[in-house]
Amino acid sequence: MKQGFKILLVILLGLFLFACSKITQENFDKIHIGMKKEEVVAILGEPTNTEDINIAGISGSSAQWKTYEAEIDLQFLNGVVTVKSFSKVGDKSDKK
């Protein structure tokens, strides 16, 4: 009986976490070229991974938001979105 309850609890917790994910096609569609990084973070939360580069006064960065089901990759130049892509994990096609 206790083990059945634990299994049910784990399943419900997993469904709850899945439903709360911000890494969705709907949220990706809210991101627009030219949007500030702060606006993106307000929609998606903090990125899973980031990489920054500064060359001759130009700052650029890439940021990735990833779950076990989907991934959003964005490129920023001087703090604004310049490139964006969305993919489902295991899906080879990117939507831009």
In a domain, 96, yes or no: no
Each residue's pLDDT, cut to its tens digit, for the chain (96 residues) gives: 677 666 655 565 554 444 458 999 999 999 999 999 999 999 999 999 999 988 888 889 999 999 999 999 999 999 999 999 999 987 655 555
Whether 56 and 44 have beta carbons less than 8 Å apart is answered as no
Report yes or no on 95 lying in a domain. no
Q: What is the CATH number of the domain that holds 45?
A: 3.30.1450.10
Write out the residue range of the structural domain in which residue 74 sits: 22-88
CB atoms closer than 10 angstroms to residue 61: 17
Residue 11 has what pLDDT?
60
Please check whether residue 43 is in contact with residue 52, taking contact to mean a CB–CB distance below 8 angstroms.
Answer: no
pLDDT at residue number 90: 72
- Residue 59 inside a domain? The answer is yes
81 inside domain? yes
Q: Is 10 within a domain?
A: no
CA–CA separation, 9 and 29 (whole Å): 33
Q: Is residue 12 part of a domain?
A: no
- With respect to residue 60, please indicate whether it lies within any of the assigned structural domains: yes
- Full-prediction pTM beyond 0.95? no
In a domain, 35, yes or no: yes
Q: Please count the structural domains in the chain.
A: 1
